[in-house]
Amino acid sequence: MSDTTASLSRKIGTAGDLQSVVRTMKAVAASSIGQYESAVRALDDYYRTVQLGLGACLREIERPTPAPAPRRETGPIAAVVFGSDQGLVGQFNDMMADFVVKTLGDLPGVKTVWTVGERIRSRLTETDLGLSQSFILPGSIGAITPLVGQILIQIEALREKAETTRVIVFHNSPHAGAIYSPVCQRLLPPDEAWRRKLTVMAWPTQILPEVVGDAAATLLAFVREYLFVSLFRACAESLASENASRLAAMQRAEKNIDELLEDLNRSFHRLRQSGIDEELFDVISGFEALTSAAPRS
């Protein structure tokens, strides 16, 4: 009996320690979600400013022409896929891997995949996609900018080798009701629908913009800013989604630990009460035996 109660006591202590760890991870995940979501919201105004600048440059350079007939592109594709470096995120990487395989499978051309995060890379290793560059996932908002700079350098090097290479970014985005959902965005080259959408954007004031100086150089500068803010936003949204998934996983774990602790405590108290009852029974039985065996005067 003593060995069994000691074993239950150890299990209760271990479950309590694990519960403390889970609560700490919940707090860290909740705090991280707020930081990354704030970073995404902070980009909204800047992102719109870049779009307005691109639209002004495109209107200055390009003349309105009839929409060309859509054609099927067959050039090489470079896909930047954001995942996670750490576990305890549920189906975060599995959903992204399935989405990447399905999306790229519907596109013609040779595919090269760049991964951000070791977990997503291990998932994609099991597929037929060709993996190339691997980047370390940033652990804070301040580390996102150096990562984006590395990706932009690789994109520029790739563009110098093959001008027709398409660049697509995949990441999980926070989504109300489903925690997150996988999305993709084509970065390069900009398609006709993207250019037309920018050229028809309404200017926020009555004073129309005018490009001063070299319009082509200004357009190129805005394109660089567009690529930077798009990749930064994709990374921040992915990190926010990752921590939301981890928070949900920790909430499920905490619920399971609470149920386990309740069962263990119930078993411990039942076993302890049973032991006490047995000891009392032995005492009473011994007393009765001694009483009945005592000589009567």
Provide the β-strand partners of residue 130.
112
Looking at residue 296, its pLDDT comes to: 58
Q: What is the mean pLDDT of the chain?
A: 85
| Digit-coded pLDDT (tens) for 55-74 | 888 887 765 555 555 556 66
Whole-structure pTM value: 0.80
Mean pLDDT of 25-44: 88
| Digit-coded pLDDT (tens) for 270-287 | 888 777 767 777 777 776
CA 242 to chain CA centroid, Å, is 3
Is the pLDDT assigned to residue 1 strictly greater than 50? no
Mean pLDDT of 104-114: 90
Domain 2-23+251-287: which CATH number of 1.20.1250, 1.10.10, 1.10.287, 1.10.730? 1.10.287
Q: Which of 114, 121, 112 shows the shortest CA–CA distance to 85?
A: 121
Q: Which CATH superfamily is domain 28-249 in?
A: ATP synthase, F1 complex, gamma subunit (3.40.1380.10)
One-letter amino acid for residue 234 of the chain: A
Is the pLDDT assigned to residue 293 strictly greater than 70? no
Is the pLDDT assigned to residue 196 strictly greater than 90? no
SS (H, E, C) 84-135: CCCCCCCCHHHHHHHHHHHHHHCCCCCEEEEEECHHHHHHHHCCCCEEEEEE
Rounded to whole angstroms, the Cα distance separating 78 from 152 reads: 12
Q: Which burial class, exposed, middle or buried, applies to 163 when counting CB atoms under 10 A from its CB (0-12, 13-18, 19+)?
A: exposed
Mean pLDDT of 40-46: 88
Q: Which of 42, 45, 58 shows the shortest CA–CA distance to 222?
A: 58
Other C-beta atoms within 10 Å of 158: how many? 19
Is the pLDDT assigned to residue 135 strictly greater than 90? yes
Rounded to whole angstroms, the Cα distance separating 33 from 241 reads: 8
Looking at residue 278, its pLDDT comes to: 75
More confident call, 170 vs 53: 170
Is the pLDDT assigned to residue 136 strictly greater than 90? yes
Other C-beta atoms within 10 Å of 293: how many? 7
User: What is the torsional sign of CA 29, 30, 31, 33?
Assistant: positive
Mean pLDDT of 224-235: 94
Mean pLDDT of 161-175: 84
Q: For 180, which DSSP code?
A: E
Percent of the chain with pLDDT over 90: 31
Mean pLDDT of 17-40: 88
Angle between helices 215-293 and 92-105 (to 10 degrees): 140
| Digit-coded pLDDT (tens) for 238-279 | 999 999 888 888 888 889 999 999 988 888 888 887 777 677
Residue 99's pLDDT band (cuts 50, 70, 90):
very high
Contact of 97 with 82, CB cutoff 8 Å: no
Percent of the chain with pLDDT over 70: 90
Parallel/antiparallel/unpaired status of strands 77-82 and 130-135: unpaired
Q: Which helix (H) or strand (E) holds 150?
A: helix 144-161
Rounded to whole angstroms, the Cα distance separating 96 from 173 reads: 11
